[in-house]
Amino acid sequence: MDNDQLMKEVVAKANVWLGDGYDEETRMEVKRMLDADDKTELIESFYRDLEFGTGGLRGIMGAGSNRMNIYTVGAATQGLANYLKEAFAELPEIKVVVGHDVRNNSRKFAEIVADIFSANGITVYLFEDFRPTPELSFAIRHLGCQSGVNITASHNPKEYNGYKAYWADGAQIIAPHDVNIIDNVNKIKSVSEIKFKGDKSRIHIIGKEMDDAFLAAIKGLSLSPDVIKKYHDLKIVYTPIHGTGVKLIPQSLRNYGFTNIINVPEQDVPSGDFPTVDSPNPENPSAMAMAIAKAKEVGADLVVASDPDADRIGCVIRNNAGEYVLINGNQIVMILLNYLMTRNAELGKLTGNEYIVKTIVTTETIKAIADANNIKMFDCYTGFKWIAAVIRDHEATSRYLGGGEESYGFLAETFARDKDSVSAISLMAEIAAWAKDKGMDFMEMLQDIYLKYGFSREEGISVVRTGKSGAEEIQQMMRDFRANPPKQLGGSKVVTVKDYADLNVTDTATGTVTKMDMPTTSNVLQFFTEDGTKVSVRPSGTEPKIKFYIEVKGHMDTKADYDRCIEEAGKKIEAVKKDLHI
């Protein structure tokens, strides 16, 4: 499409938004963009419709078809309501849960979602205020609902908001419901089709009673209560980074028995502006700076954080030099799964019918730990809806111990079906006490894992490309990698290429192609080398970026080798990045 044609279509779409079906504030904003000399904002706001993807919506807030606003949220909800009435036509009552985070407009969007559902004859349980994402997942199952919606953009910058859709099992939607919902959303062609006028009699407010039930279930996950009693006064610094975790995580830690929880007062203030950080993402060192400063002040044993909707966990520990260092998402998952497997074994709870789950881009060291403990491990696609799908497929026959992904998400339970920092942080504190009881600090315990199961180091790189041109560039990068895969990475020959778009596994030496057993295809490429290096490449499904996941191996004979392994692995990662031209 040439620029003149694009502009003609953008202007035509924008003019529709000047109609009487849209409120005055929206009309004024659209008129401002139409009248502006620079049409960049107009194009970005209207060049496409904000897509209801397989996880819902996520985008910058503002007026326009490519923005998060009451009309794009309304169309998504009307489409979802229409599909629920088809899928559950035999039920006398269809029920949904609606929740939200602390972001600007989140409460407004949540109330509009509740109104639209109720206007369609659907019973709504609306949280009284912001709550962690995993509690919404729990509430769907606890209340026997058919669906749920959470208004959140997770750890994205403050300009963003999002819309996550859930199914009856408490997990984000997958096939066939994802495609069917998308079809129904796409059928909404006019704002007049959206039933905005709610039926308040169908909207029920929930709050403390759900908190209490959720926290009680999380307390039931504890495996070492006697150790916690012994080390109840561990110094634990926690920050919610202005998010929803402030509601439940300190209480969960107290429920477990910890008595020395140290807050970061400035970041306990819920705010969609996230005033003390550039980005509210606990995987970024800058977001953890205030918590680390507090840790230094009080001599903390552990520093933990949650992102704005409290589904992701950040963790800081002391290294061998006594410095506070951020551990990565792979290490968080590895530590949690190692504890759950090891502790279950210590307690004699393993029957040979247990399993764990990780995503394909998460460290392979977890597989070594599972194999050593004779525990089955499943690999799945990125995103907790896929971990939830594995749980659903095996809940009648096997026991789930835990699952996670490198992007700082973990799920220790089956009573919720989305990543959960409330339970993960509670267990991480328990692990700190457990390690101390064994005469180790957290770093020594991490080194002990590497010594037993092999050293690995991982790094994730996100290449951001915004807007229409950025999306096209990302697509071209994937085409180029498929057409010309790397022959070597970091000085080691690439021996296997996995392409999840067609589920082909190619042996580069022989050219032999075999098929993978996966539930569907996905736009992901993986390259494996002779020395155990793994590189995964995938466009983000929720953000304007392409992601590279690099994992390299090393060899440790003693814990004293750890720093050397870190240094050598860092050099290899840099060499791999150079080979990938990133």
Q: Is the pLDDT of residue 543 over 90?
A: no
pLDDT at position 54 is: 66
pLDDT at position 1 is: 57
Structure confidence by residue, pLDDT tens digits, 318-374: 998 999 999 999 999 999 999 999 999 999 999 999 999 999 999 999 999 999 999
Q: Which token pair is 253?
A: 């830690």
| Cβ atoms of residues 304 and 277 within 8 Å | no
| Cβ atoms of residues 209 and 172 within 8 Å | no
Q: Cα dihedral sign for 182, 187, 188, 190?
A: positive
Query: What superfamily does domain 232-453 belong to in CATH?
Result: Alpha-D-Glucose-1,6-Bisphosphate, subunit A, domain 3 (3.40.120.10)
pLDDT at position 91 is: 98
Q: Please state the length of the chain.
A: 582
CATH class for the domain made up of 455-580: alpha beta
Taking the C-alpha atoms of residue 170 and residue 134, their distance in angstroms, rounded to an integer, is 9
Q: Where are the domains of the chain?
A: 1-41, 48-212, 232-453, 455-580
Taking the C-alpha atoms of residue 319 and residue 441, their distance in angstroms, rounded to an integer, is 9
Q: Which residues contact 91 (CB under 8 A, 6 or more apart)?
A: 146
Q: Is the pLDDT of residue 445 over 90?
A: yes
Q: Is the pLDDT of residue 541 over 80?
A: no
Q: Is the pLDDT of residue 260 over 80?
A: yes
Q: Is 45 a catalytic residue?
A: no
Structure confidence by residue, pLDDT tens digits, 261-301: 999 999 999 999 999 999 999 999 999 999 999 999 999 99
Taking the C-alpha atoms of residue 438 and residue 164, their distance in angstroms, rounded to an integer, is 42
- Look at 43-52, 106-115, 211-220, 415-424 and tell me which has the smallest mean pLDDT: 43-52
pLDDT at position 410 is: 98
Strands 95-100 vs 123-127: parallel, antiparallel or unpaired = parallel
pLDDT at position 480 is: 96
Q: Is the pLDDT of residue 542 over 70?
A: no
- Options 118, 154, 224, 252, the catalytic residue: 154
pLDDT at position 421 is: 98
Higher pLDDT, 413 or 542: 413
Structure confidence by residue, pLDDT tens digits, 372-386: 999 999 999 999 999
Mean pLDDT, the chain, rounded, equals: 96
Confidence of residue 310 (pLDDT cuts 50, 70, 90): very high
Confidence of residue 53 (pLDDT cuts 50, 70, 90): confident
Confidence of residue 467 (pLDDT cuts 50, 70, 90): confident
The DSSP bridge partners found for residue 355 are 376, 400
Residue 154 burial class via C-beta count within 10 angstroms: exposed 0-12, middle 13-18, buried 19 and up: buried
> Are 232-453 and 455-580 equal in CATH topology?
no
What is the amino acid identity at position 152? T
> pTM of this prediction?
0.95
Q: Assign residue 328 a region (left: φ > 0; alpha: ψ between -120 and 50; beta: otherwise).
A: beta
Phi, psi of 82 (to 5 degrees): -60, -40
Q: Which fold has domain 48-212?
A: Alpha-D-Glucose-1,6-Bisphosphate; Chain A, domain 3 (3.40.120)
Range 422-449 average pLDDT: 97
Strands 203-206 vs 123-127: parallel, antiparallel or unpaired = parallel
CA 365 to mean position of chain CA atoms: 21
Q: Closest by alpha carbon to 362, among 276, 458, 436?
A: 458
| Cβ atoms of residues 149 and 165 within 8 Å | yes
Range 489-506 average pLDDT: 98
Q: Give the Cβ contact number of residue 469 at 10 Å.
A: 9
At CB < 8 A and 24+ separation, what contacts does 46-54 make?
46/10, 46/13, 46/14, 47/6, 47/9, 47/10, 47/468, 48/468, 52/76, 52/79, 52/163, 52/181, 52/182, 52/185, 52/186, 53/182, 53/541, 53/542, 54/173, 54/174, 54/178, 54/182, 54/385, 54/541
Taking the C-alpha atoms of residue 78 and residue 116, their distance in angstroms, rounded to an integer, is 7
